[in-house]
Structure 1
Amino acid sequence: MPVSPKVVLVTMFEPLGRPGEMSLFKERLDLSPVELAGTGLRDVHLGHDGQVLALSTGVGTANTAISLMALGLCPEIDTSESFFLIAGIAGADPTAATLGTPVWADWCVDGDIAFEIDAREIPAGWSTGILPLGAREPFGASNFAQADMGRPYQVFEFNHALVQAAFDLTAGLALDTSPAHAAYLEKFPENSAARQAPGVLRGDCLSAARYFHGERATAWARQWVSHWTGGQGRFVTCGMEDSGTLHALAVLDELGQASRNRALLLRTASNFTQPPPGEPASEHFSDENTFPAFDLALENGTRTACTVIDAILADWPEWNSRF
């Protein structure tokens, strides 16, 4: 009989030689490794007598899409009634969140499907060389019908009632802070969200396999999320995988192998999407600057996600009937 997990935890980034996005979950959810023959999945774990399944997919939209499809079509696993909780580190807009802040998303927008002009050839008056696919100007209307684009996965809207439930459970959580980052955060303006203590938020995610960084790139991300959500979304975090994960879930939903209405996305800020004022973006790809709050993000993100996972397991009939 197939294992029917109540929760599928999706993580992505597991660097060699140090803890990654799944590491703390292994301990706190008492996860044990399992092999799923014929799937190609390398890092799958089960816990709570099969009620929780966790996997690490690898970095990038392609890895997550392939991994989720492999899991959803595996005959040993039945995910048709599972809640999917995607949990990972994030870049964060410093005007919206500080380091160590977990953020539940209502929208996820793909940032890779686009027209792009080399930055050295951007026409005068344009704010960016990245355009919606089929548009003739930045943030212009696309002249491509969905049929021209094949199966579109540019924007995903989450079940807002489920997001609200997750937020309500976690909004009051006590989160860790990092005094070690105090000097770094002081480089940002006093009224910036970057200077606030971390607390669970709701905000939206831009998913792009390109690791972008810089003040202009962040301004583009804000407009890109707003454009594709009709002004309803607000860019707060970015990750490199989520549109791939959600595309796979949408296909599995069509096949009856998953429910896209039972998906949650939690990204926790390990770094900012732009440097402090006056510092060049190019200096922030060094080891110490790429993820300045990596461990803090892992701790606060794991704590937040586990609060929701524990609630689902403790009151499965209510969650199952409600969503």
Structure 2
Amino acid sequence: MKAAVSLSKRMTKAFAAMTLAASLAGCASAPRSPQSASGAREVKVMIVTMFAPEGKAWLDRLGPWDAIDVAGLSPDYPQVHCNRDDVCVVTTGMGHTNAAASMMALAFSDRFDLRSTYFLIAGIAGIDPAQGTVGSAAWAKYLVDFGPQWELDAREKPARWPSGFTGINTKSPNEKPPLDYRTEVFALDATLADTAYALSRNVTLSDSDAAKAARARFKYSPANQPPKVIQCDTLAGDTWWSGKFIGERARAWTRLLTDGRGVYCTTQQEDNATYEALRRAASVRRVDVSRVAVLRAGSDFDRP
């Protein structure tokens, strides 16, 4: 992912209204008190963003806001913002470490009751030109971590290997590794993902001259077509990468870890870490991970 900030602002603005509408439509419930018996604020939707331009797309449109200090959040983003409809926005900071630490702080804070909250993880990402284009917004069913692999210097790899990557404790790149980390791949709730996609698939996304120029160099679809809402899966890893051969490994790794069910299309840094923090909270019934949706919008292509 090599997102330019100016492009990211346009991207997040384009899908902000659509994603919230889809999320709230899927979250309809009976009216309830804004506070639980413990005094914690009950949250209907928690929008999870990773850096300031992603958060700004929501904060500029859905206020007015209450700014709530939460101990343990990133020092750059120490507050959660909640509006009168109990829709809240948190910004975690970028990368695996910031995402995990901030989400643990949020999930275990006594300021909020998150047991019935829907979480929308919404941000930008690099995109595979075989699946989408700049501006496409992709709902994921699978979260795959690109990090837990062995990597040989590509100049020293076996000649038969397509890249220097292979799964940990495997003998070849095509062998599925034992999932010893227990965070290598997550399946999101399919019903929620399908509902979000169905509600938003016909939304016309905004386009721009910059996006048109970015896709004009591709000779094939969907890379050279206008952006649209799609459904395909997302790959997390703190290393920002670009290139055909790493991109091919991203596709193969996603297929391998999902037993052929997943289709790689976006690359970002945080989502497996964010989800694992929520999963830890779910283990003590502080959140419900069947209420987690992930939407990533293409800010740039993952290969030249």
Identify the TM-score tier after normalising by the shorter chain.
Answer: 0.7 to 0.9
Question: Equivalents in 2 of 1:37, 1:13: separation in Å?
Answer: 17
* Larger CA deviation: 26-35 vs 104-113: 26-35
- Percent of aligned pairs with the same residue? 31
The answer to whether the 8 A contact 1:116-1:131 is kept is yes
Q: 1:197 to 1:123 in 2, by over 3 A?
A: same
Give the SS at the match of 1:21: helix
Alignment of 1:240 with 2:275, yes or no, is no
CA drift at 1:127: 0.7
Alignment of 1:136 with 2:171, yes or no, is yes
Alignment of 1:87 with 2:116, yes or no, is no
Alignment of 1:96 with 2:135, yes or no, is no
Alignment of 1:109 with 2:144, yes or no, is yes
CA drift at 1:4: 1.1
Q: 1:65 to 1:37 in 2, by over 3 A?
A: closer
- Superposition pairs for residues 11-160 of structure 1, below 5 Å? 11-14=49-52, 20-30=53-63, 32=65, 34-42=67-75, 43=77, 44-49=79-84, 51-142=86-177, 144=178, 149=180, 151-160=181-190
Aligned partner of 1:61: which letter?
H
Alignment of 1:9 with 2:38, yes or no, is no
Aligned partner of 1:156: which letter?
F
Question: Equivalents in 2 of 1:37, 1:234: separation in Å?
Answer: 36
Name the counterpart of 2:3: none
Aligned residue pair count = 264
Gaps of 5+ in 2: 1-38
Q: 1:35 to 1:235 in 2, by over 3 A?
A: same
CA drift at 1:178: 1.4
The answer to whether the 8 A contact 1:100-1:198 is kept is yes
* Larger CA deviation: 84-93 vs 125-134: 125-134
Task: Render the CA deviation track for 1:225-280: whole Å, top value 9, x for unaligned.
Answer: 000000000011111100100111111111111111100000000000001xxxxx
CA drift at 1:184: 3.3
Question: Equivalents in 2 of 1:180, 1:68: separation in Å?
Answer: 34
Q: 1:31 to 1:202 in 2, by over 3 A?
A: farther
The answer to whether the 8 A contact 2:74-2:93 is kept is no
- The CA RMSD over aligned residues, in Å, is 1.5
Moved over 6 A (4+): none
Gaps of 5+ in 1: 15-19, 276-323
Match of 1:161 among 183, 186, 191: 191
Question: Equivalents in 2 of 1:161, 1:239: separation in Å?
Answer: 23
The answer to whether the 8 A contact 2:107-2:286 is kept is yes
Q: 1:141 to 1:176 in 2, by over 3 A?
A: closer
* Larger CA deviation: 86-95 vs 180-189: 180-189
